[in-house]
Amino acid sequence: MVFLKLGESQLDTWWIRKRDKLLELAEQYPNAYVYDLESIRSAATAMSSLRSVKRVLYAVKANFNPDVIKVLASVGIDFDCVSLGEIEHLNTVLPDLDKNRILFTPNFAPRDEYVWAIGRGITVTIDNLYPLQQWPELFANREIFIRIDPEQGDGHHEYVVTSGSGSKFGVPLNEVSELKRLATAAGAEVVGIHAHTGSGIVNPKNWQTVANILARVAKHFSGVKTLDLGGGIGVPERTADAPFNLQELDSLLTNFCSDYPQYDLWLEPGRYLVAVAGVLLTRVTQIKGKGADCYIGVNTGINSLIRPALYDAYHEIVNLSRMNEGASKSATVVGPICEAGDKLGINRLLPETQENDVFLIANAGAYGHVMSSNYNLRDIPPEIVICD
């Protein structure tokens, strides 16, 4: 790891520019998630500017903070929900939101959830044959989306690969003919074909490949208007990493649209829109040497940010109090949770650190607070938004 000093980032790292503000917040809160709304707006605007993509739907599960939802809606982003709770939350935050801006994509949900969503005129995605086999009456005279398994997945960890062998998601390609028969028998019209192959994917060609697979599937259904390519667009994990090449993605998908002008393309980003915009602030509690190892303890752990333990995810960790000081020691950053896996960062090169220093954990705007818990009866950090 290369230690980062002020001004050395290859990215427009907002938390470097707003360091003083973050240090002020750290004086008020022992731990806190902080979201920069302008960073979210910038990412959403960039995604919305893709010429090849008709609609962008935000994966609400990534971060459902009300201010985050509002800023995304304000720039024309629509919403992909995976539970009734997410839909109800949207309706609370955005009471005037048109139901046509919501896509409901549940997985192994009970029958009642389909009934609830359909009864409110929300488009539903079906990801296996069972609903059409067992509850065909629900879909009579309804327009539906079908989630297909392209049978090739990708992602930064096996737990986020959502296609291919071993994945619970989507209708296998060899069941498409039976799917068509069941949909026809139920009186449902398939108007959209959907897929999602994983998370943290950095090769733009992934979505071109998915689009071509979905186009082949769409030929089985005369009513298909939309190919939903899912999300999973990667973000820079390390500060020196290059950003995802949106221009290349747009070029590839524009070529696809030239070949298949009858279809609208949708994307469903989650982390891309909000991950970089969020940081987790915490304070150093203790420093411990154990043989050749050094441990720096902080005031929060996997109760607040489970991604490092669950996905072996990498998050930059910065001593915000001493960003202008040189790195002098390798240490593992750990939390106060009574689990051996409560490690937020392993062998990180950091400056000489002292108790009460403020640490910043980057890329925490997605799948951070939403996956937090009161494990060990530790408090969940509050969420703070900044927009200046």
| Residues that are catalytic | 338
Q: What is the DSSP string of 196-216?
A: --BSSB--THHHHHHHHHHHH
Give the integer Cα–Cα distance in Å for 142 and 36. Answer: 40
Give just the sign of the alpha carbon dihedral 316, 28, 374, 72: negative
- Closest CA relative to residue 305, chosen from 41, 70, 63, 86: 63
**CA neighbor of 45 nearest in space, from 68, 72, 65, 66:** 72
List, as one string, the DSSP characters of 296-358: EEES--TTT--HHHHH-----EEEGGGTTSPP-EEEEEE-SSSSTT-EEEEEEEE----TTPE
Structure tokens at 209: 């490949």
Helical packing angle, 37-48 and 66-74, nearest 10°: 40
Cβ-count burial of 292 within 10 angstroms (0-12 exposed, 13-18 middle, 19+ buried)? exposed
Torsion of CA 114, 118, 120, 125, to 10 degrees: 80
- Nearest partner of 123 among 226, 249, 197, judged by Cα: 226
Alpha carbon separation from 106 to 52, 78, 95, 124 (Å, rounded): 26, 17, 22, 8
List the structure tokens of 12. Answer: 């427009």
Question: How many CB atoms lie under 10 A from the CB of residue 380?
Answer: 15
